[in-house]
Structure 1
Amino acid sequence: MAEDLHIAEGTKEEKYRLLLPQLKGLLQDETDWVANLANAAAALKETFGFFWVGFYRVVGDELVLGPFQGPLACTRIRKGRGVCGTAWAEGRTVLVPDVDAFPGHIACSSQSRSEVVVPLRKADGGVWGVLDIDSNRVADFDEVDVKYLEEIACLLTTYH
């Protein structure tokens, strides 16, 4: 596949539906997981214009920053801390409409207003990382994002 995205006009769901097969085409022939995460972050940022899109990988008892698109980010996050650490510890997607209302939110950027974090799972169900997306608008994410970002997380794990 050429490294060009065809971005749909229309609803958020239409954009995700067009993005998914393009991501699959981009990832399927690449064996380097860092390259795949980098391209996935770029594709999500380019398609939706999110404030920050990136990945953290599990290293020991911390999440360590991986490929991302956006401003500088926190480098390490302990298990159970912030939205990312909570998603990892609980093994579930965490949707936060207003980060100021999330107890223990880690403010890597004061411009972040809402966030969604999706665990990336190994074949045995364990979490090997998280997909973290921030918006500079309150309540920018919803169940449509959760549904499709969880599909993208499964796709990324297939090619991890």
Structure 2
Amino acid sequence: MNDIKKIETADKGKFYNYLNLKLTGLICEEPDWLANLSNAAALLYLLLEDINWAGFYLYKNGELVLGPFQGKPACTHIALGKGVCGTAAQERKTQLVPDVHLFAGHIACDAASQSEIVVPIIHEEQLIGVLDIDAPIKERFDEKDAAGLQKFVDILSKYVKWSQIC
């Protein structure tokens, strides 16, 4: 675990290859979903530059409920269709928001957040939850981030035992 270090590169493809390789190493032999999501959130928070929150909301009883994360305390419950997370979950589509203040219905858990990306987690056609990452600068995320984080979620879907929480 001690070999996880930040890398200096402007090449997002190279960065996400590194991030996703480290994620696979962290979770591929661990059966516990909570440990895996906790380590995944910590890995994102450690390696992604210019972010102020990284974590998960899990779909339970018709809403999103706060899961493992790194950053300031966050909203505990989010209704489907509300805010960036609820929209991503309802539409089952990644939400790339360059300026959260322009997103109708944005839920401001941290006033410092300026941009956000939310990737839905879908396993066997079931909504599991979302990966949510906030940044204190506008336009922090782009399509390369969306692609790299989709791969991150795909790795989670491959190794996490979702049946333990669904």
TM-score range, shorter chain: over 0.9
What is the letter of the counterpart of residue 66 of structure 1? G
Q: After superposition, where does 1:38-49 map in structure 2 within 5 Å?
A: 38-49=38-49
AA aligned opposite 1:19: L
User: Percent of aligned pairs with the same residue?
Assistant: 47
CA apart distance, 1:13: 2.8
Provide, for residues 12-36 of structure 1, a one-character-per-residue CA deviation record: whole Å limited to 9, x for no partner: 3322111111110111000111111
2:164 is aligned to none
1:3–1:39 distance in 2 versus 1, CA, 3 Å: farther
Give the conservation status (yes or no) of the 8 Å contact 1:131–1:153. yes
1:121 corresponds to? 122
The 3-state SS of whatever aligns with 1:100 is helix
Aligned to 1:34: 34
Aligned equivalents of 2:158, 2:87: Cα separation in 1: 23
Would you say 1:7 and 2:6 are equivalent positions? yes
Alpha-carbon shift at residue 7 of structure 1 (Å): 2.4
Amino acid at match of 1:26: L
Q: Distance in 1 between matches of 2:71 and 2:52?
A: 6
2:5 is paired with a residue whose SS is: coil
TM-score, with normalisation over the residues of structure 2?
0.92
Partners of 1:13 and 1:140 in 2: how far apart?
Answer: 16
1:77-156 to 2 correspondence within 5 Å? Answer: 77-123=78-124, 125-156=125-156
How many pairs are equivalent?
A: 158
State the shift of 1:4 in Å.
3.7
**Gapped regions of structure 2 (runs ≥ 5):** 161-166
| More RCO (CA 8 Å, sep 6+) | 2
User: Which residue identity does 1:30 align to in structure 2?
Assistant: E
8 Å CA contact 1:56–1:66 kept in 2: the answer is: yes
User: Do the aligned partners of 1:8 and 1:14 also contact (CA within 8 Å) in 2?
Assistant: no
